[in-house]
């Protein structure tokens, strides 16, 4: 036959073209081959006597084929007597049997009786592949454990399927959790930004924090001012990037300019450039990464040697901190 269209309108005089196996293929693909849907009592089992287990309302899929006990109804399953001194496992299953040559199908709840003995094991059941042409498929719902003459326990064997809404909600929650992990690993903050030039000296001068992060979040605490800093709130590996632009206003002077990043007042490195005669502008750039413990305070500073008496930071110095792990 080849391709078979399903969701189409056909002429009124045409024979019905949608078969049970068509719907089953859709349900199996969208939901699951076998499951109990998250509706109603979900085929709850209740022992009502030594020979009866009552199955309440719910919807089951077997190979994609749907069966249902409607709300308020039930089906009583008969359990044969046990044997004194022995144990037995019976299985209550949903059984689908395809009709021969396109004939009527059979679909019902059955009890598959186990073999009594001194130890109990589950009876065999048929798990044929209906989609690929097998005729029978059993889906175990409940294991009925019998010791001596009595039912001692009923154990769930099926999986409760999730609705599309539940799957979407879980996907959204998983995406949110993943985004939080990404944000945590890439949590970024910035300090600095004096935004006007200031004179460098042969003593270290901290760049401070004027237009960077101020306040407190999950990962950082920032303070403003000439002695401003960023405090690390969660231990981890951090990427540190510090950049500062300077201007030498005197043509004839020469010497070195330095940048430095400190953690708890201890240097973790910086950049050094030599400014020869005739050079007016330069940019210091420093990049590193290292483990920083929670509670540590990160700062940046600049300096020049004594020969450079007229070098000014341009006020665009920024220290960027990025959490890597």
Domains of the chain: 20-161 (2.60.520.10), 187-323 (2.60.120.40)
Task: Please return the burial class of 253, using the count of CB atoms within 10 Å of its CB with bins 0-12, 13-18 and 19+.
Answer: middle
Predicted confidence at residue 117, as pLDDT, reads 93
Q: How confident is the model at residue 27 (pLDDT cuts 50, 70, 90)?
A: low
How many C-beta atoms surround the C-beta of residue 187 within 10 A?
19
Mean pLDDT of 62-88: 92
3-class secondary structure, 30: helix
Which candidate, 31, 25, 34, places its Cα nearest to that of 7?
25
Cα distance between residue 198 and residue 31, in whole Å:
67
Residue 238 · residue 324 · CB < 8 Å: yes
Terminal CA-to-CA distance of the chain, rounded, Å?
Answer: 57
Write out the two tokens for 22.
């068509």
Residue 74 DSSP class: -
Mean pLDDT of 262-290: 91
Mean pLDDT of 27-43: 80
Give Cβ neighbours of residue 200 (< 8 Å, ≥ 6 apart).
Answer: 246, 257, 302, 303, 304, 308, 311, 312, 313
Tally of residues, the chain: 325
Write out the two tokens for 256.
């070195």
- Helix (H) or strand (E) holding 165, with range, is helix 164-185
Residue 194 · residue 210 · CB < 8 Å: yes
Residue 85 · residue 110 · CB < 8 Å: no
Give Cβ neighbours of residue 212 (< 8 Å, ≥ 6 apart).
Answer: 189, 190, 191, 192, 193, 222, 224, 228, 230, 318, 319
Predicted confidence at residue 306, as pLDDT, reads 86
Q: What is the pLDDT of residues 230-257, one digit of tens each?
A: 999 999 999 999 999 988 888 788 889 9
Q: What is the pTM of this model?
A: 0.55
Which candidate, 17, 11, 20, places its Cα nearest to that of 65?
20
Cα distance between residue 153 and residue 144, in whole Å:
6
Give Cβ neighbours of residue 135 (< 8 Å, ≥ 6 apart).
Answer: 97, 98, 100, 128
Over 70: is that where the pLDDT of 61 sits?
A: yes
Predicted confidence at residue 2, as pLDDT, reads 72
Cα distance between residue 223 and residue 263, in whole Å:
15
Which candidate, 108, 29, 27, places its Cα nearest to that of 68?
108
Residue 109 · residue 91 · CB < 8 Å: no
Mean pLDDT of 287-309: 93
Q: How confident is the model at residue 7 (pLDDT cuts 50, 70, 90)?
A: low
Q: How confident is the model at residue 66 (pLDDT cuts 50, 70, 90)?
A: confident
Residue 18 · residue 3 · CB < 8 Å: no
Q: What is the pLDDT of residues 98-117, one digit of tens each?
A: 888 767 889 999 999 999 99
């Amino acid at each position: 036959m080849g391709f078979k269209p399903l969701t189409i309108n056909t002429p009124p005089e045409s024979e019905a073209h949608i078969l049970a196996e068509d719907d089953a293929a859709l349900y199996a693909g969208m939901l699951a081959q076998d499951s109990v849907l998250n509706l109603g009592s979900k085929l709850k089992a209740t022992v009502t006597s030594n020979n009866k287990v009552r199955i309440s309302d719910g919807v089951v899929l077997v190979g994609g084929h749907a069966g249902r006990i409607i709300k308020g109804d039930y089906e009583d399953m008969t359990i044969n007597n046990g044997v004194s001194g022995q144990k037995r496992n019976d299985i209550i299953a949903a059984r689908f049997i395809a009709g021969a040559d396109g004939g009527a199908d059979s679909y019902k709840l059955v009890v598959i009786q186990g073999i009594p003995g001194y130890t109990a094991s589950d009876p065999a059941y048929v798990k044929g592949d209906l989609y690929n042409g097998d005729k029978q498929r059993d889906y175990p719902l409940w294991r009925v454990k019998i010791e001596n003459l009595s039912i001692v326990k009923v154990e769930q064997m099926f999986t409760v399927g999730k609705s599309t809404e539940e799957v979407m909600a879980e996907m959204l929650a998983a995406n949110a959790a993943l985004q939080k992990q990404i944000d945590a690993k890439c949590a970024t903050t910035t300090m600095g930004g004096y935004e006007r030039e200031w004179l460098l000296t042969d003593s270290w001068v901290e760049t401070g924090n004027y237009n960077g992060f101020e306040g407190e979040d999950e990962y950082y605490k920032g303070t403003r001012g000439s002695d401003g800093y960023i405090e690390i709130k969660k231990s981890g590996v951090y990427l540190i990037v510090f950049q500062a632009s300077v201007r030498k206003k005197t043509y004839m002077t020469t010497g070195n300019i330095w940048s430095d990043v400190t953690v708890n007042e201890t240097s973790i490195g910086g950049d050094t450039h030599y400014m020869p005669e005739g050079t007016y502008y330069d940019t210091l750039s420093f990049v590193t990464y290292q483990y920083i413990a929670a509670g540590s305070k990160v700062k940046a500073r600049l300096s020049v040697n004594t020969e450079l008496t007229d070098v000014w930071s341009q006020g665009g110095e920024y220290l960027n901190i990025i959490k890597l792990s």
